[in-house]
Amino acid sequence: MSPSTYPDVMDKLVSLCKRRGFIFQSSEIYGGTGSVWDYGPLGVELKRNIKDRWWNAMVRARDDIEGLDAAILMHPRVWEASGHVAGFTDPLIDCRNCKKRFRADDPKIKGTPGTPDAQCPACGMKGTLSEPRMFNLMFKTFMGPVEDSAAVVYLRPETAQGIYVNFLNVQQSTRQKVPFGIAQIGKAFRNEITPGNFIFRTREFEQMEMQFFVDPEGDHMQWFEYWKAQRMAWHRALGLAESRLLFHQHTKEELAHYARAAFDIQFDFGGTLGFQEIEGVHHRGDFDLSRHQEYSGKKLEYFDQPNNRRYVPFVVETSVGADRTTLAVLVNGYREESVEGEAEGRTVLGIHPSLAPIKAGVFPLVKKDGMPEFAEKLSAELRKSFPVFYDESGAIGRRYRRQDEVGTPFCITVDGQTMEDGTVTVRDRDTLAQERVAADRVGGIIAERLQA
Amino acid sequence: MSPSTYPDVMDKLVSLCKRRGFIFQSSEIYGGTGSVWDYGPLGVELKRNIKDRWWNAMVRARDDIEGLDAAILMHPRVWEASGHVAGFTDPLIDCRNCKKRFRADDPKIKGTPGTPDAQCPACGMKGTLSEPRMFNLMFKTFMGPVEDSAAVVYLRPETAQGIYVNFLNVQQSTRQKVPFGIAQIGKAFRNEITPGNFIFRTREFEQMEMQFFVDPEGDHMQWFEYWKAQRMAWHRALGLAESRLLFHQHTKEELAHYARAAFDIQFDFGGTLGFQEIEGVHHRGDFDLSRHQEYSGKKLEYFDQPNNRRYVPFVVETSVGADRTTLAVLVNGYREESVEGEAEGRTVLGIHPSLAPIKAGVFPLVKKDGMPEFAEKLSAELRKSFPVFYDESGAIGRRYRRQDEVGTPFCITVDGQTMEDGTVTVRDRDTLAQERVAADRVGGIIAERLQA
């Protein structure tokens, strides 16, 4: 991986996101919760817009994909079948003296853990560090009144298993025929030892996953190629720069033993973080359904009626992080630029208009001569169609800047001429061009541009 | 509470919901997970439509309410401040012999627990039952590598606290002025001892909560009355029958010690379940913000600039269950009726067209003469605007019935006349009236009726 040619804007984004209400640290007044974040008023709308775009593209616009919303708490056997109980682990080292734990690759550890010369980085004792032991990344809890091993359930570490265990329920209730898919948006949880990079790797996150079921004797590799292309096109349509997106093919070492092929879609987050996975498109063969057949004792076969054939389908999975995509959209859109003829520059969130939390700012030029009343009425009218923000405080230039940095694509100003002829100015966030249009046409014009 | 005059349709609904893909038992192939449910293809759309209606009414249509999406995992001190660690409990009884646990009100227990004559319903021993002890209903888990008391975090038992701890973050980033509200949709978890009644009381559920912050020296009681009326109107606009909705005022015994007034909106689920809470509208005073001030040591005061006054606002809360509302919509809509001139009756899900998972069925009358091609093309065209279902299998009457029982408001049939003059029939789910309209006008007509 070569270092990124894009600048590192993460610290600036974290600050902007807090100040303007995109993303707050969770439980901040209590000192925060480790690597968990809350979406504020603008962040929740941005993320909703991204999730809705995915749902519309993957479910509502197609007749071969069904939606699902499976629960976070699942039967514990699910995670034995999936391999998470045995294999979803990181190596950790214990100190027998002070009982602290460390990642096996913690650079503060001196010497070889498990030998007499290794020194604990916390209490300083020698020879007390254990050999590395595997630590499971699933959060566990207890269901029912008794906290014993029989009551253990896990917070799902991925949404995909909810789709697999419901494969026949969905297929039979919808009468879908293979090939078809099941799609789901939902929270997942991983007790990461070293989370970080803002909302890139968090302990609580949201996935948008689709499992596409195909005939193992049919054109499954073509479907794999189809989904690779579809998903890359989706990210580009979000407005992510082509130069920041690439496919990373899993090497033999990276590839899961059951996988037939796997590509990640990576996005260049800039700075030292650089290219990182935002989505995986994986050909998983019949591993998942076969394992659930084995562990549940229930058949998960598809019956191909015309050919009188029963089989366990192959699965092509597309799995994208809603939080990572939100971060990619923010990073991709963030820019600082100088403005001709002005001493101060501006910060712009150049995000796709369809994703912008606020579609239009509405301003009276000054707080008199009926302009606030006109602007407030216009604002209320436009709010019936899309989110708008009414602002009458401060100089007009400052109000434009406030909308620029939260990505509002249009600003509408009510001025002296409005009071004479009913026209307003519409300013474009990116070109800074202002055009004068009749106030009663402005809603239609903006709605049209949001579709484009 | 008088028994319901409406019939008990729950068993029939559970069966319909599984068969048609509204709601499945979670992890069914493994024998299920206790009182946790998965939403299937039709259920996820129905619930999304309900949640979107709430979000649009409470956030997007207003300029005085901001959205939020706080995390499920919060700092554990949050639940000390809220009172959940100390008080969110149910009484349980242990058997010292067999280690089993029982609810204190379990009718199988004979004698007085804690005395020598009490008999364990599981092992049959006498004198082994403990006195009732309080059991906390929060799910707990451990964050980080060490499973000790310092690492305990809880799955939130309600979303409201995420709003309180973010009160100043939201207020300052949006520059809102009191009175204003913060609204959130999200999952919450309660380790209920006796959950049940399908999706009425579950261990994992979804809330739609709004906290409205008001001046304690102002017209807070008027705001309370305002929100009572608004929320009742919202349920009625969903199509819930007026005769099935009522306000239940909390008695002195029910009222929390800090609450100034509290009303529940109850819905009549029929049968023995009868009237049950689906929403709470509660005047919580300054209890929550004051407690978080105390426990966090951080001021949570609003600064009223014009009057140079600082105060902790009062809170009017509206809290509605997304799953309970979904169940209410299903129960309210379910009906079986006879059809004039037909031997078999029909089952109808008479839900509001805007909530229906599928807006239109599209059928070729017969599978020949170009009708399937015409109908598939029309179906693809309509799908750009709203969810449709194409169906060519079985007799036309059977296809109508299949759409009736999932609440599809319109069915469009392509027949012989279509091939001559380009008109189709549009059948209304409720009136059964069929009108003939030009195929290229049908999308506009249905879109219009969905708005109504």
**Are residues A357 and A416 both part of a single domain?**
yes
The pLDDT of B57-61, averaged and rounded, is 96
**Are residues B273 and B228 both part of a single domain?**
yes
CATH number of the domain within which A51 lies: 3.30.930.10
Does residue A15 lie within any of the structural domains?
A: no
Please give the residue range of the domain that contains residue A393: 348-451
Does residue A130 lie within any of the structural domains?
A: yes
**Residues A108-120: pLDDT tens digits?**
888 899 999 899 9
Q: Who has greater pLDDT, A239 or B90?
A: A239
Tokens 């299903």 locate to B330
**Are residues B215 and B99 both part of a single domain?**
no
Give me the pLDDT at residue A155, please: 97
**Are residues A250 and A128 both part of a single domain?**
no
Whether B324 and chain A come into contact, CB under 8 Å, resolves to: no
Calculate the alpha carbon distances from B449 to B353, B359, B409, B444 in Å.
8, 10, 10, 9
**Are residues A325 and A399 both part of a single domain?**
no
CA distance B235 to B237: 5
Does residue A42 lie within any of the structural domains?
A: no
**Residues B233-247: pLDDT tens digits?**
999 999 999 999 999
CA distance B445 to B130: 67
**Are residues B111 and B203 both part of a single domain?**
no
**Are residues A101 and A206 both part of a single domain?**
no
Taking an 8 Å cut-off on Cβ atoms, the answer to whether A30 and B77 are in contact is yes
CB-nearest partner of B187 from A72, A193, A387: A72
pLDDT band, very low/low/confident/very high, at A99 (cuts 50, 70, 90):
confident
Min Cα–Cα distance to chain B from A75, Å: 5
pLDDT band, very low/low/confident/very high, at B149 (cuts 50, 70, 90):
confident
Measured between CA atoms, the residue of chain A closest to residue B56 is A384
Q: Who has greater pLDDT, B73 or B91?
A: B73
Instruction: Collect all residues of chain B within an 8 Å Cβ-Cβ radius of residue A189.
Output: 73
Instruction: Collect all residues of chain A within an 8 Å Cβ-Cβ radius of residue B37.
Output: 71
CATH number of the domain within which A429 lies: 3.40.50.800
Task: Write out residues 325-384 of B within 8 Å (CB-CB) of A.
Answer: 379-380, 383-384
Is residue A54 classed exposed, middle or buried when 0-12, 13-18 and 19+ CB atoms within 10 A define those classes? buried
Instruction: Tell me how many domains chain A contains.
Output: 3
Tell whether the model's pLDDT for residue A1 goes beyond 80.
Answer: no
Which residues are paired to B281 by β-bridges?
Answer: B263, B318
ipTM of the modeled complex = 0.94
CB-nearest partner of A27 from B19, B78, B189: B78
Instruction: Collect all residues of chain B within an 8 Å Cβ-Cβ radius of residue A298.
Output: 29
The pLDDT of A62-85, averaged and rounded, is 96
Does residue B13 lie within any of the structural domains?
A: no
CB-nearest partner of B39 from A38, A68, A144: A68
**Are residues B154 and B296 both part of a single domain?**
yes
Sort strands A314-321 and A204-214 into parallel, antiparallel or unpaired.
Answer: antiparallel
Does residue A18 lie within any of the structural domains?
A: no
pLDDT band, very low/low/confident/very high, at A413 (cuts 50, 70, 90):
very high
Q: Which of A38, A148, A165, A206 to mutate to test the interface with B (most CBs of B within 10 A)?
A: A38
Does residue A389 lie within any of the structural domains?
A: yes
Give me the pLDDT at residue A325, please: 98
Give me the pLDDT at residue B216, please: 97
Q: How many residues does chain B have?
A: 452
Whether A130 and chain B come into contact, CB under 8 Å, resolves to: no
Taking an 8 Å cut-off on Cβ atoms, the answer to whether B145 and A173 are in contact is no
The pLDDT of A241-245, averaged and rounded, is 98
Tell whether the model's pLDDT for residue A2 goes beyond 80.
Answer: no
Min Cα–Cα distance to chain A from B409, Å: 18
Measured between CA atoms, the residue of chain B closest to residue A32 is B75
Q: How many residues does chain A have?
A: 452
Min Cα–Cα distance to chain A from B262, Å: 27
DSSP class of A56 = I
**Residues B6-21: pLDDT tens digits?**
999 999 999 999 999 9
Taking an 8 Å cut-off on Cβ atoms, the answer to whether B73 and A204 are in contact is yes
Measured between CA atoms, the residue of chain B closest to residue A295 is B30
Taking an 8 Å cut-off on Cβ atoms, the answer to whether A70 and B34 are in contact is no
Sort strands B180-189 and B65-68 into parallel, antiparallel or unpaired.
Answer: parallel
Residue B190 main-chain phi, psi, to 5 deg: -140, 130
**Are residues B131 and B277 both part of a single domain?**
no
Sort strands B346-349 and B309-311 into parallel, antiparallel or unpaired.
Answer: unpaired
CB-nearest partner of A73 from B36, B68, B143: B36
Does residue A149 lie within any of the structural domains?
A: yes
**Are residues B262 and B365 both part of a single domain?**
no
Taking an 8 Å cut-off on Cβ atoms, the answer to whether A39 and B173 are in contact is no
User: Any residues with CB less than 8 A from the CB of B344 and at least 6 apart, and which?
Assistant: none
Does residue A7 lie within any of the structural domains?
A: no
Domain boundary (B276, B296, B331) is at B331
**Are residues A68 and A208 both part of a single domain?**
yes
**Are residues B100 and B121 both part of a single domain?**
yes
Taking an 8 Å cut-off on Cβ atoms, the answer to whether A38 and B162 are in contact is yes
